[in-house]
Structure 1
Amino acid sequence: MNKFLIWIIIGIVLFILLLIIIRYLISKKLTKKHKRIVKNELIKKKFFITSDNYELRWLGEILPVSKKILICVHDYGLSRKSFKNFEEYVRKNNSDVSVISYDQRGSGENKFYKNLNMGSHLLDLEEIIVYISTKYSDKEIFLVGEGFGSNLASYFSDNKRIKKIIFVSMHLNQIIHKSFKVIFKILMASLISTNIQIKQKIYIEDCVSKIDDNNIIDIDFVSHKKMKNLLQIRKINSKIKKNIVKNVKKYVFLLPGIDIFVKKNTFINIFNDEKLKDLKIDKLSSKKHYVFYEKNNIEIFKTIINNI
Protein backbone atom coordinates (compact mmCIF):
# COMPACT_ATOMS: atom_id res chain seq x y z
CA MET A 1 0.00 0.00 0.00
CA ASN A 2 1.56 3.32 -1.05
CA LYS A 3 1.97 6.23 1.32
CA PHE A 4 -0.61 8.37 -0.49
CA LEU A 5 -3.37 5.81 0.10
CA ILE A 6 -2.35 5.44 3.75
CA TRP A 7 -2.65 9.21 4.24
CA ILE A 8 -6.09 9.17 2.58
CA ILE A 9 -7.28 6.45 4.99
CA ILE A 10 -5.83 8.33 7.98
CA GLY A 11 -7.52 11.52 6.76
CA ILE A 12 -10.90 9.79 6.42
CA VAL A 13 -10.62 8.26 9.92
CA LEU A 14 -9.65 11.63 11.44
CA PHE A 15 -12.52 13.33 9.60
CA ILE A 16 -15.02 10.78 10.95
CA LEU A 17 -13.64 11.20 14.48
CA LEU A 18 -13.95 14.98 14.12
CA LEU A 19 -17.59 14.64 13.03
CA ILE A 20 -18.32 12.39 16.03
CA ILE A 21 -16.71 14.90 18.43
CA ILE A 22 -18.60 17.83 16.89
CA ARG A 23 -21.90 15.92 17.08
CA TYR A 24 -21.14 15.01 20.70
CA LEU A 25 -20.50 18.64 21.65
CA ILE A 26 -23.62 19.86 19.82
CA SER A 27 -25.82 17.09 21.27
CA LYS A 28 -24.95 17.80 24.91
CA LYS A 29 -25.48 21.56 24.55
CA LEU A 30 -28.37 22.84 26.68
CA THR A 31 -31.00 25.23 25.35
CA LYS A 32 -30.46 28.59 27.06
CA LYS A 33 -33.37 30.59 25.69
CA HIS A 34 -36.89 30.09 24.37
CA LYS A 35 -38.27 32.22 21.59
CA ARG A 36 -40.62 34.58 23.42
CA ILE A 37 -44.05 34.55 21.79
CA VAL A 38 -46.49 35.19 24.64
CA LYS A 39 -46.55 36.28 28.28
CA ASN A 40 -46.48 33.61 30.96
CA GLU A 41 -49.92 32.84 32.31
CA LEU A 42 -51.65 30.27 34.51
CA ILE A 43 -54.94 29.35 32.82
CA LYS A 44 -57.82 28.30 35.10
CA LYS A 45 -55.38 26.42 37.36
CA LYS A 46 -55.19 23.77 34.62
CA PHE A 47 -52.05 24.63 32.68
CA PHE A 48 -49.16 27.10 32.62
CA ILE A 49 -48.30 28.91 29.38
CA THR A 50 -44.55 29.20 28.74
CA SER A 51 -42.97 32.08 26.85
CA ASP A 52 -42.79 29.98 23.65
CA ASN A 53 -46.52 29.18 23.98
CA TYR A 54 -46.23 25.59 25.23
CA GLU A 55 -48.80 24.35 27.74
CA LEU A 56 -47.65 22.64 30.95
CA ARG A 57 -50.44 20.74 32.72
CA TRP A 58 -50.90 21.95 36.30
CA LEU A 59 -51.63 20.52 39.76
CA GLY A 60 -52.86 22.39 42.81
CA GLU A 61 -53.77 25.97 43.58
CA ILE A 62 -52.34 28.78 45.66
CA LEU A 63 -54.69 29.65 48.49
CA PRO A 64 -54.98 33.30 49.59
CA VAL A 65 -54.44 32.32 53.24
CA SER A 66 -51.25 30.35 52.58
CA LYS A 67 -47.91 31.83 53.59
CA LYS A 68 -45.70 29.29 51.83
CA ILE A 69 -45.71 27.81 48.33
CA LEU A 70 -44.10 24.48 47.50
CA ILE A 71 -43.24 24.06 43.81
CA CYS A 72 -42.78 20.31 43.29
CA VAL A 73 -40.64 19.10 40.37
CA HIS A 74 -41.14 15.49 39.25
CA ASP A 75 -38.62 12.87 38.13
CA TYR A 76 -37.67 12.07 34.54
CA GLY A 77 -40.44 10.17 32.75
CA LEU A 78 -43.03 10.77 35.49
CA SER A 79 -45.62 13.53 35.89
CA ARG A 80 -47.23 15.97 38.31
CA LYS A 81 -49.25 13.00 39.64
CA SER A 82 -46.21 12.07 41.72
CA PHE A 83 -47.38 14.79 44.11
CA LYS A 84 -51.14 14.18 43.96
CA ASN A 85 -51.35 12.55 47.41
CA PHE A 86 -48.92 15.08 48.88
CA GLU A 87 -50.96 18.00 47.55
CA GLU A 88 -54.20 16.52 48.93
CA TYR A 89 -52.63 15.89 52.35
CA VAL A 90 -51.23 19.42 52.65
CA ARG A 91 -54.48 21.02 51.45
CA LYS A 92 -56.43 19.18 54.17
CA ASN A 93 -53.93 19.56 57.01
CA ASN A 94 -51.84 22.71 56.44
CA SER A 95 -53.86 25.73 55.36
CA ASP A 96 -50.81 28.00 55.47
CA VAL A 97 -49.03 25.93 52.78
CA SER A 98 -49.94 25.54 49.10
CA VAL A 99 -48.51 22.71 46.97
CA ILE A 100 -48.30 23.07 43.20
CA SER A 101 -46.69 21.02 40.45
CA TYR A 102 -46.72 20.62 36.68
CA ASP A 103 -45.96 18.12 33.94
CA GLN A 104 -42.54 18.85 32.50
CA ARG A 105 -42.28 19.54 28.80
CA GLY A 106 -42.99 16.37 26.80
CA SER A 107 -44.13 14.46 29.90
CA GLY A 108 -47.41 13.43 31.51
CA GLU A 109 -50.50 14.82 29.80
CA ASN A 110 -48.60 17.49 27.86
CA LYS A 111 -48.47 17.51 24.08
CA PHE A 112 -45.65 15.66 22.35
CA TYR A 113 -42.61 17.93 22.01
CA LYS A 114 -40.28 17.10 19.14
CA ASN A 115 -36.53 17.53 19.61
CA LEU A 116 -36.80 18.07 23.37
CA ASN A 117 -33.69 19.56 24.94
CA MET A 118 -33.19 19.04 28.69
CA GLY A 119 -32.27 22.70 29.04
CA SER A 120 -35.93 23.52 28.35
CA HIS A 121 -36.85 22.02 31.73
CA LEU A 122 -34.61 24.57 33.47
CA LEU A 123 -36.09 27.43 31.45
CA ASP A 124 -39.67 26.31 32.18
CA LEU A 125 -38.99 26.02 35.92
CA GLU A 126 -37.38 29.45 35.95
CA GLU A 127 -40.42 30.99 34.21
CA ILE A 128 -42.75 29.38 36.76
CA ILE A 129 -40.64 30.67 39.66
CA VAL A 130 -40.59 34.21 38.26
CA TYR A 131 -44.34 34.15 37.57
CA ILE A 132 -45.30 32.77 40.99
CA SER A 133 -42.89 34.99 42.94
CA THR A 134 -44.15 38.09 41.10
CA LYS A 135 -47.84 37.32 41.48
CA TYR A 136 -47.52 36.13 45.10
CA SER A 137 -44.72 38.35 46.37
CA ASP A 138 -45.99 38.12 49.96
CA LYS A 139 -45.41 34.35 50.15
CA GLU A 140 -42.26 32.27 50.62
CA ILE A 141 -41.36 29.85 47.83
CA PHE A 142 -39.78 26.42 48.27
CA LEU A 143 -38.69 23.81 45.74
CA VAL A 144 -39.32 20.10 46.33
CA GLY A 145 -37.48 17.84 43.91
CA GLU A 146 -38.04 14.19 43.07
CA GLY A 147 -35.22 12.35 41.23
CA PHE A 148 -34.24 14.37 38.17
CA GLY A 149 -36.48 17.14 39.50
CA SER A 150 -34.00 17.56 42.38
CA ASN A 151 -31.15 17.89 39.89
CA LEU A 152 -33.06 20.68 38.13
CA ALA A 153 -33.92 22.40 41.43
CA SER A 154 -30.21 22.63 42.31
CA TYR A 155 -29.79 25.26 39.59
CA PHE A 156 -31.71 27.74 41.74
CA SER A 157 -29.33 27.75 44.73
CA ASP A 158 -28.53 31.43 44.39
CA ASN A 159 -32.03 32.47 43.35
CA LYS A 160 -33.23 34.96 45.97
CA ARG A 161 -36.85 34.07 45.26
CA ILE A 162 -36.31 30.55 46.63
CA LYS A 163 -36.30 30.16 50.42
CA LYS A 164 -35.24 26.49 50.59
CA ILE A 165 -34.72 23.45 48.35
CA ILE A 166 -35.72 19.95 49.48
CA PHE A 167 -34.43 16.87 47.68
CA VAL A 168 -36.57 13.73 48.00
CA SER A 169 -34.41 11.29 45.97
CA MET A 170 -31.96 12.12 43.16
CA HIS A 171 -31.25 10.84 39.65
CA LEU A 172 -27.46 10.55 39.34
CA ASN A 173 -26.88 7.27 37.48
CA GLN A 174 -28.77 6.89 34.22
CA ILE A 175 -27.62 3.44 33.11
CA ILE A 176 -29.03 1.12 35.76
CA HIS A 177 -28.69 -2.23 33.97
CA LYS A 178 -25.52 -2.52 31.86
CA SER A 179 -26.51 -5.20 29.36
CA PHE A 180 -24.83 -5.93 26.03
CA LYS A 181 -27.88 -4.51 24.24
CA VAL A 182 -27.70 -1.19 26.11
CA ILE A 183 -23.94 -0.84 25.59
CA PHE A 184 -24.34 -1.68 21.88
CA LYS A 185 -27.11 0.94 21.51
CA ILE A 186 -24.92 3.58 23.17
CA LEU A 187 -22.04 2.70 20.82
CA MET A 188 -24.30 2.91 17.75
CA ALA A 189 -25.78 6.20 18.95
CA SER A 190 -22.27 7.60 19.40
CA LEU A 191 -21.23 6.55 15.89
CA ILE A 192 -24.43 7.01 13.88
CA SER A 193 -27.03 9.28 15.51
CA THR A 194 -27.62 10.69 18.98
CA ASN A 195 -31.37 10.45 18.27
CA ILE A 196 -31.21 6.68 18.84
CA GLN A 197 -33.22 5.76 21.94
CA ILE A 198 -31.66 3.92 24.85
CA LYS A 199 -34.31 1.77 26.54
CA GLN A 200 -34.01 0.23 29.99
CA LYS A 201 -36.61 -1.82 31.81
CA ILE A 202 -37.30 -0.65 35.35
CA TYR A 203 -38.46 -3.32 37.79
CA ILE A 204 -41.04 -2.18 40.31
CA GLU A 205 -39.40 -4.06 43.20
CA ASP A 206 -36.16 -2.13 42.56
CA CYS A 207 -37.68 1.31 42.95
CA VAL A 208 -40.69 1.07 45.29
CA SER A 209 -40.93 -0.68 48.68
CA LYS A 210 -44.71 -0.77 49.04
CA ILE A 211 -46.49 0.85 46.13
CA ASP A 212 -49.78 2.69 46.33
CA ASP A 213 -51.93 0.67 43.89
CA ASN A 214 -53.76 3.83 42.83
CA ASN A 215 -50.51 5.28 41.47
CA ILE A 216 -48.94 2.27 39.77
CA ILE A 217 -50.36 3.17 36.35
CA ASP A 218 -48.54 6.52 36.43
CA ILE A 219 -45.07 4.97 36.36
CA ASP A 220 -43.49 4.13 33.01
CA PHE A 221 -41.55 0.94 33.71
CA VAL A 222 -39.45 1.35 30.56
CA SER A 223 -37.04 4.28 30.64
CA HIS A 224 -36.73 5.91 27.20
CA LYS A 225 -33.93 8.38 26.62
CA LYS A 226 -32.39 9.52 23.37
CA MET A 227 -28.60 9.45 23.45
CA LYS A 228 -28.50 13.25 23.20
CA ASN A 229 -30.81 13.52 26.22
CA LEU A 230 -28.50 11.20 28.18
CA LEU A 231 -25.64 13.58 27.36
CA GLN A 232 -27.69 16.64 28.32
CA ILE A 233 -28.76 15.10 31.64
CA ARG A 234 -25.15 14.18 32.31
CA LYS A 235 -24.19 17.82 31.74
CA ILE A 236 -26.93 19.00 34.11
CA ASN A 237 -25.80 16.48 36.73
CA SER A 238 -22.15 17.53 36.41
CA LYS A 239 -22.96 20.89 38.04
CA ILE A 240 -25.05 19.66 40.99
CA LYS A 241 -22.19 19.88 43.48
CA LYS A 242 -21.14 23.33 42.26
CA ASN A 243 -24.75 24.50 42.54
CA ILE A 244 -25.20 23.22 46.09
CA VAL A 245 -21.91 24.70 47.31
CA LYS A 246 -23.27 28.15 46.43
CA ASN A 247 -25.72 27.95 49.33
CA VAL A 248 -25.44 24.75 51.38
CA LYS A 249 -27.75 25.98 54.15
CA LYS A 250 -30.61 26.34 51.67
CA TYR A 251 -30.78 22.54 51.21
CA VAL A 252 -32.45 19.64 52.97
CA PHE A 253 -31.85 16.09 51.67
CA LEU A 254 -34.43 13.37 52.41
CA LEU A 255 -32.86 10.46 50.56
CA PRO A 256 -34.07 6.85 50.18
CA GLY A 257 -31.91 4.21 51.82
CA ILE A 258 -31.98 2.13 48.62
CA ASP A 259 -31.89 3.94 45.28
CA ILE A 260 -31.08 2.30 41.94
CA PHE A 261 -30.43 5.74 40.42
CA VAL A 262 -27.79 6.69 43.01
CA LYS A 263 -24.73 4.46 43.16
CA LYS A 264 -22.72 4.72 46.36
CA ASN A 265 -19.47 5.71 44.62
CA THR A 266 -21.22 8.42 42.60
CA PHE A 267 -22.76 9.91 45.73
CA ILE A 268 -19.45 9.84 47.62
CA ASN A 269 -17.60 11.49 44.72
CA ILE A 270 -20.07 14.36 44.74
CA PHE A 271 -20.76 14.91 48.43
CA ASN A 272 -17.56 13.84 50.21
CA ASP A 273 -16.30 17.40 50.36
CA GLU A 274 -15.41 19.73 53.23
CA LYS A 275 -17.50 22.45 51.60
CA LEU A 276 -20.60 20.29 52.04
CA LYS A 277 -20.03 19.31 55.69
CA ASP A 278 -23.01 21.41 56.84
CA LEU A 279 -25.39 19.82 54.33
CA LYS A 280 -28.46 18.40 56.08
CA ILE A 281 -28.97 14.81 54.91
CA ASP A 282 -31.65 12.54 56.40
CA LYS A 283 -31.89 8.92 55.27
CA LEU A 284 -35.29 7.37 54.61
CA SER A 285 -33.90 3.93 55.39
CA SER A 286 -36.90 1.81 54.39
CA LYS A 287 -37.71 3.76 51.22
CA LYS A 288 -36.65 3.32 47.59
CA HIS A 289 -36.36 5.77 44.67
CA TYR A 290 -40.04 6.54 43.94
CA VAL A 291 -40.77 7.81 47.46
CA PHE A 292 -43.98 9.65 46.54
CA TYR A 293 -45.51 6.51 45.03
CA GLU A 294 -45.26 4.43 48.18
CA LYS A 295 -48.05 3.57 50.60
CA ASN A 296 -48.35 5.20 54.01
CA ASN A 297 -46.41 8.34 53.17
CA ILE A 298 -47.91 10.54 55.87
CA GLU A 299 -44.67 10.59 57.89
CA ILE A 300 -42.70 11.62 54.78
CA PHE A 301 -45.21 14.39 54.08
CA LYS A 302 -44.91 15.61 57.67
CA THR A 303 -41.11 15.56 57.45
CA ILE A 304 -41.17 17.73 54.32
CA ILE A 305 -43.54 20.24 55.94
CA ASN A 306 -41.44 20.33 59.14
CA ASN A 307 -38.40 21.29 57.07
CA ILE A 308 -39.86 24.41 55.49
Structure 2
Amino acid sequence: MFSGSIPALVTPFKDGKVDEDAYRRLIDWQIENGSKGLVPCGTTGEASTLSNAEHHRVVEICVEQAAGRVPVIAGCGSNDTRNALLHMGFARKAGAAAGLCVAPYYNRPSQAGLIAHFSFLAENSDLPIVLYNVPSRTVTDIEDETVVELVSKFPDRIVAIKDASGDLSRVADHRMGLSSDFCQLSGNDELWLPHSAAGGSGCISVSANVAPALCAEFHEAIAANDLVKARELNDRLFPLHYAMFSDASPAPAKYALSRVHAWLTDEVRLPICAASEAARKAVDDALEHAGLV
Protein backbone atom coordinates (compact mmCIF):
# COMPACT_ATOMS: atom_id res chain seq x y z
CA MET A 1 0.00 0.00 0.00
CA PHE A 2 2.93 2.34 0.78
CA SER A 3 6.48 2.27 -0.50
CA GLY A 4 9.59 4.34 -1.02
CA SER A 5 11.03 7.21 0.97
CA ILE A 6 8.42 8.61 3.34
CA PRO A 7 9.67 11.42 5.59
CA ALA A 8 8.43 11.65 9.15
CA LEU A 9 8.07 15.39 8.85
CA VAL A 10 9.31 17.87 11.41
CA THR A 11 6.79 20.47 12.54
CA PRO A 12 8.35 23.90 11.93
CA PHE A 13 7.93 26.39 14.77
CA LYS A 14 8.40 30.14 14.83
CA ASP A 15 8.13 32.13 18.04
CA GLY A 16 6.44 29.21 19.77
CA LYS A 17 3.77 28.64 17.13
CA VAL A 18 3.45 26.26 14.18
CA ASP A 19 4.98 28.00 11.16
CA GLU A 20 2.34 27.16 8.56
CA ASP A 21 4.07 28.87 5.64
CA ALA A 22 7.35 27.05 6.26
CA TYR A 23 5.48 23.76 6.66
CA ARG A 24 3.79 24.17 3.28
CA ARG A 25 7.14 24.96 1.64
CA LEU A 26 8.69 21.90 3.29
CA ILE A 27 5.88 19.68 1.97
CA ASP A 28 6.27 20.98 -1.58
CA TRP A 29 10.05 20.53 -1.43
CA GLN A 30 9.63 16.95 -0.22
CA ILE A 31 7.26 15.99 -3.00
CA GLU A 32 9.32 17.77 -5.68
CA ASN A 33 12.37 15.77 -4.54
CA GLY A 34 10.81 12.33 -4.80
CA SER A 35 9.24 11.53 -1.42
CA LYS A 36 6.48 8.96 -1.92
CA GLY A 37 4.41 9.80 1.14
CA LEU A 38 4.33 12.14 4.13
CA VAL A 39 3.90 11.54 7.85
CA PRO A 40 2.78 14.56 9.87
CA CYS A 41 2.53 14.45 13.66
CA GLY A 42 4.82 11.52 14.30
CA THR A 43 7.68 11.39 16.79
CA THR A 44 9.82 13.64 14.59
CA GLY A 45 6.87 16.01 14.28
CA GLU A 46 6.91 16.54 18.07
CA ALA A 47 3.32 15.34 18.30
CA SER A 48 3.66 14.82 22.04
CA THR A 49 4.06 18.59 22.50
CA LEU A 50 1.17 19.63 20.24
CA SER A 51 -2.28 20.44 21.54
CA ASN A 52 -5.09 18.50 19.87
CA ALA A 53 -6.04 21.64 17.95
CA GLU A 54 -2.45 22.08 16.70
CA HIS A 55 -2.16 18.38 15.92
CA HIS A 56 -5.27 18.47 13.76
CA ARG A 57 -4.22 21.68 12.04
CA VAL A 58 -0.83 20.20 11.12
CA VAL A 59 -2.53 17.14 9.62
CA GLU A 60 -4.99 19.36 7.78
CA ILE A 61 -2.22 21.52 6.28
CA CYS A 62 -0.28 18.45 5.17
CA VAL A 63 -3.27 16.93 3.38
CA GLU A 64 -4.19 20.27 1.80
CA GLN A 65 -0.68 20.99 0.56
CA ALA A 66 -0.01 17.45 -0.67
CA ALA A 67 -3.23 17.78 -2.69
CA GLY A 68 -3.31 14.11 -3.60
CA ARG A 69 0.21 14.07 -5.05
CA VAL A 70 1.37 11.57 -2.41
CA PRO A 71 -0.47 9.76 0.38
CA VAL A 72 -0.48 11.27 3.86
CA ILE A 73 -0.11 8.88 6.81
CA ALA A 74 -1.28 11.02 9.70
CA GLY A 75 0.16 10.45 13.16
CA CYS A 76 -2.79 9.34 15.30
CA GLY A 77 -1.09 7.66 18.23
CA SER A 78 -1.86 8.30 21.87
CA ASN A 79 -1.56 6.59 25.23
CA ASP A 80 -5.31 7.21 25.54
CA THR A 81 -7.32 4.97 23.22
CA ARG A 82 -10.18 7.46 23.02
CA ASN A 83 -7.83 10.28 22.03
CA ALA A 84 -6.23 8.09 19.37
CA LEU A 85 -9.72 7.49 17.96
CA LEU A 86 -10.34 11.25 18.01
CA HIS A 87 -7.19 11.80 15.95
CA MET A 88 -8.22 9.05 13.53
CA GLY A 89 -11.64 10.58 13.06
CA PHE A 90 -10.15 13.95 12.21
CA ALA A 91 -7.50 12.45 9.91
CA ARG A 92 -10.18 10.50 8.05
CA LYS A 93 -12.28 13.61 7.60
CA ALA A 94 -9.25 15.63 6.46
CA GLY A 95 -8.46 13.10 3.75
CA ALA A 96 -5.46 11.21 5.11
CA ALA A 97 -4.73 7.84 3.51
CA ALA A 98 -4.00 6.14 6.84
CA GLY A 99 -3.27 6.73 10.49
CA LEU A 100 0.09 5.93 12.08
CA CYS A 101 -0.77 4.49 15.48
CA VAL A 102 2.06 4.02 17.94
CA ALA A 103 1.84 1.51 20.77
CA PRO A 104 0.44 3.35 23.81
CA TYR A 105 3.36 4.83 25.73
CA TYR A 106 3.82 5.22 29.49
CA ASN A 107 0.87 2.92 30.30
CA ARG A 108 2.89 -0.21 29.47
CA PRO A 109 -0.11 -2.29 28.36
CA SER A 110 0.15 -6.07 28.06
CA GLN A 111 -0.13 -7.79 24.70
CA ALA A 112 -3.80 -8.33 25.52
CA GLY A 113 -4.08 -4.59 26.13
CA LEU A 114 -2.42 -3.84 22.79
CA ILE A 115 -4.83 -6.17 21.01
CA ALA A 116 -7.78 -4.49 22.74
CA HIS A 117 -6.45 -1.00 21.94
CA PHE A 118 -5.85 -1.57 18.23
CA SER A 119 -9.01 -3.67 17.88
CA PHE A 120 -11.06 -0.81 19.32
CA LEU A 121 -9.53 1.60 16.80
CA ALA A 122 -10.10 -0.77 13.89
CA GLU A 123 -13.69 -1.44 14.93
CA ASN A 124 -14.60 2.21 15.38
CA SER A 125 -12.88 3.87 12.42
CA ASP A 126 -12.61 3.02 8.73
CA LEU A 127 -9.27 4.79 8.41
CA PRO A 128 -6.53 2.27 7.52
CA ILE A 129 -4.05 1.76 10.37
CA VAL A 130 -0.27 1.63 10.17
CA LEU A 131 1.01 0.05 13.37
CA TYR A 132 4.05 1.79 14.84
CA ASN A 133 6.35 -0.31 17.00
CA VAL A 134 9.11 1.67 18.72
CA PRO A 135 9.79 0.00 22.08
CA SER A 136 12.79 2.25 22.77
CA ARG A 137 10.27 5.06 23.28
CA THR A 138 7.09 3.28 24.37
CA VAL A 139 8.68 0.49 26.47
CA THR A 140 5.93 -1.84 25.27
CA ASP A 141 6.83 -4.03 22.30
CA ILE A 142 4.17 -5.07 19.78
CA GLU A 143 5.26 -8.70 19.55
CA ASP A 144 5.18 -10.64 16.29
CA GLU A 145 2.31 -12.84 17.40
CA THR A 146 0.29 -9.75 18.32
CA VAL A 147 0.89 -8.20 14.90
CA VAL A 148 -0.19 -11.41 13.18
CA GLU A 149 -3.31 -11.70 15.32
CA LEU A 150 -4.33 -8.08 14.72
CA VAL A 151 -3.75 -8.14 10.98
CA SER A 152 -5.48 -11.51 10.61
CA LYS A 153 -8.46 -10.14 12.51
CA PHE A 154 -8.61 -6.83 10.62
CA PRO A 155 -6.94 -7.38 7.21
CA ASP A 156 -8.73 -4.45 5.60
CA ARG A 157 -8.08 -2.05 8.49
CA ILE A 158 -4.56 -2.81 9.73
CA VAL A 159 -2.59 -2.55 6.52
CA ALA A 160 1.04 -1.85 7.42
CA ILE A 161 3.64 -1.56 10.15
CA LYS A 162 6.42 0.89 10.81
CA ASP A 163 8.93 -1.23 12.70
CA ALA A 164 11.54 0.65 14.71
CA SER A 165 12.36 -2.27 17.00
CA GLY A 166 15.77 -2.73 15.38
CA ASP A 167 15.10 -6.47 15.04
CA LEU A 168 15.44 -7.37 11.35
CA SER A 169 14.23 -10.92 11.93
CA ARG A 170 10.75 -9.48 12.38
CA VAL A 171 10.42 -8.74 8.67
CA ALA A 172 10.61 -12.46 7.90
CA ASP A 173 8.49 -13.36 10.93
CA HIS A 174 5.73 -11.05 9.71
CA ARG A 175 6.04 -12.37 6.16
CA MET A 176 5.78 -15.96 7.34
CA GLY A 177 2.69 -15.22 9.41
CA LEU A 178 0.86 -12.90 7.03
CA SER A 179 -0.02 -12.31 3.39
CA SER A 180 2.64 -10.79 1.18
CA ASP A 181 0.25 -7.85 0.76
CA PHE A 182 1.01 -6.68 4.30
CA CYS A 183 3.18 -3.58 4.00
CA GLN A 184 6.35 -3.42 6.11
CA LEU A 185 8.17 -0.11 6.48
CA SER A 186 11.45 0.39 8.29
CA GLY A 187 11.43 2.88 11.14
CA ASN A 188 15.23 2.93 11.34
CA ASP A 189 17.10 4.77 8.58
CA GLU A 190 20.34 2.93 9.24
CA LEU A 191 18.55 -0.43 8.73
CA TRP A 192 16.68 0.62 5.59
CA LEU A 193 18.88 -1.41 3.23
CA PRO A 194 18.78 -4.78 5.07
CA HIS A 195 15.12 -4.25 5.99
CA SER A 196 14.29 -3.89 2.27
CA ALA A 197 16.39 -6.93 1.41
CA ALA A 198 14.34 -8.94 3.91
CA GLY A 199 11.06 -7.85 2.33
CA GLY A 200 10.35 -4.27 3.41
CA SER A 201 8.83 -1.81 0.97
CA GLY A 202 10.38 1.44 2.18
CA CYS A 203 11.16 3.60 5.16
CA ILE A 204 9.39 6.21 7.27
CA SER A 205 12.53 8.26 7.54
CA VAL A 206 14.00 11.04 9.66
CA SER A 207 16.93 11.63 7.30
CA ALA A 208 14.54 12.18 4.38
CA ASN A 209 13.55 15.48 6.01
CA VAL A 210 16.99 16.77 5.11
CA ALA A 211 17.95 14.63 2.11
CA PRO A 212 14.72 13.77 0.28
CA ALA A 213 16.28 13.45 -3.17
CA LEU A 214 19.11 11.19 -1.97
CA CYS A 215 16.71 9.03 0.04
CA ALA A 216 14.35 8.72 -2.93
CA GLU A 217 17.26 7.79 -5.20
CA PHE A 218 18.43 5.26 -2.61
CA HIS A 219 15.03 3.55 -2.57
CA GLU A 220 14.88 3.52 -6.36
CA ALA A 221 18.24 1.75 -6.45
CA ILE A 222 16.96 -0.84 -3.98
CA ALA A 223 13.76 -1.35 -5.98
CA ALA A 224 15.81 -1.82 -9.16
CA ASN A 225 18.04 -4.38 -7.39
CA ASP A 226 21.02 -2.16 -8.13
CA LEU A 227 22.98 -3.15 -5.05
CA VAL A 228 26.15 -1.34 -6.09
CA LYS A 229 24.35 2.01 -6.35
CA ALA A 230 22.30 1.32 -3.23
CA ARG A 231 25.47 0.68 -1.22
CA GLU A 232 27.10 3.82 -2.59
CA LEU A 233 24.11 5.96 -1.59
CA ASN A 234 23.81 4.19 1.75
CA ASP A 235 27.42 5.08 2.48
CA ARG A 236 26.73 8.74 1.65
CA LEU A 237 23.67 8.82 3.91
CA PHE A 238 24.91 6.67 6.78
CA PRO A 239 26.61 9.39 8.88
CA LEU A 240 23.47 11.50 8.51
CA HIS A 241 21.30 8.69 9.87
CA TYR A 242 23.32 8.66 13.07
CA ALA A 243 23.70 12.42 13.25
CA MET A 244 19.90 12.76 13.35
CA PHE A 245 20.03 11.08 16.78
CA SER A 246 23.20 12.69 18.11
CA ASP A 247 20.92 14.61 20.50
CA ALA A 248 17.25 14.35 21.47
CA SER A 249 15.21 14.08 18.27
CA PRO A 250 14.17 16.10 16.35
CA ALA A 251 16.64 18.79 17.44
CA PRO A 252 19.44 17.58 15.11
CA ALA A 253 17.01 17.23 12.18
CA LYS A 254 15.73 20.77 12.68
CA TYR A 255 19.26 22.11 12.93
CA ALA A 256 20.16 20.27 9.71
CA LEU A 257 17.14 21.73 7.93
CA SER A 258 18.08 25.22 9.10
CA ARG A 259 21.45 24.66 7.42
CA VAL A 260 19.81 23.56 4.18
CA HIS A 261 17.00 26.14 4.08
CA ALA A 262 17.12 29.68 5.47
CA TRP A 263 13.33 29.69 5.79
CA LEU A 264 13.39 26.92 8.41
CA THR A 265 14.48 27.46 12.00
CA ASP A 266 15.86 24.94 14.47
CA GLU A 267 13.21 25.87 17.06
CA VAL A 268 11.92 22.96 19.17
CA ARG A 269 9.55 22.71 22.11
CA LEU A 270 10.38 21.78 25.66
CA PRO A 271 11.32 19.32 26.97
CA ILE A 272 13.40 19.06 23.78
CA CYS A 273 16.28 21.55 23.68
CA ALA A 274 18.21 22.89 20.72
CA ALA A 275 20.94 20.58 19.43
CA SER A 276 24.17 20.66 21.41
CA GLU A 277 27.44 21.84 19.93
CA ALA A 278 28.61 18.24 19.61
CA ALA A 279 25.40 17.30 17.79
CA ARG A 280 25.73 20.31 15.49
CA LYS A 281 29.23 19.26 14.56
CA ALA A 282 28.02 15.72 13.83
CA VAL A 283 25.27 17.13 11.63
CA ASP A 284 27.63 19.54 9.86
CA ASP A 285 30.08 16.73 9.12
CA ALA A 286 27.29 14.43 7.90
CA LEU A 287 25.81 17.12 5.64
CA GLU A 288 29.22 17.69 4.08
CA HIS A 289 29.83 13.94 3.68
CA ALA A 290 26.49 13.56 1.89
CA GLY A 291 27.21 16.54 -0.35
CA LEU A 292 24.23 18.50 0.95
CA VAL A 293 26.18 21.65 1.87
> Do they superpose with TM above 0.5?
no
Structure 1 length-normalised TM: 0.31
Structure with the bigger percentage of helix: 2
Structure with the bigger percentage of strand: 1
Larger gyration radius, structure 1 or structure 2: 1
Structure 2 length-normalised TM: 0.33
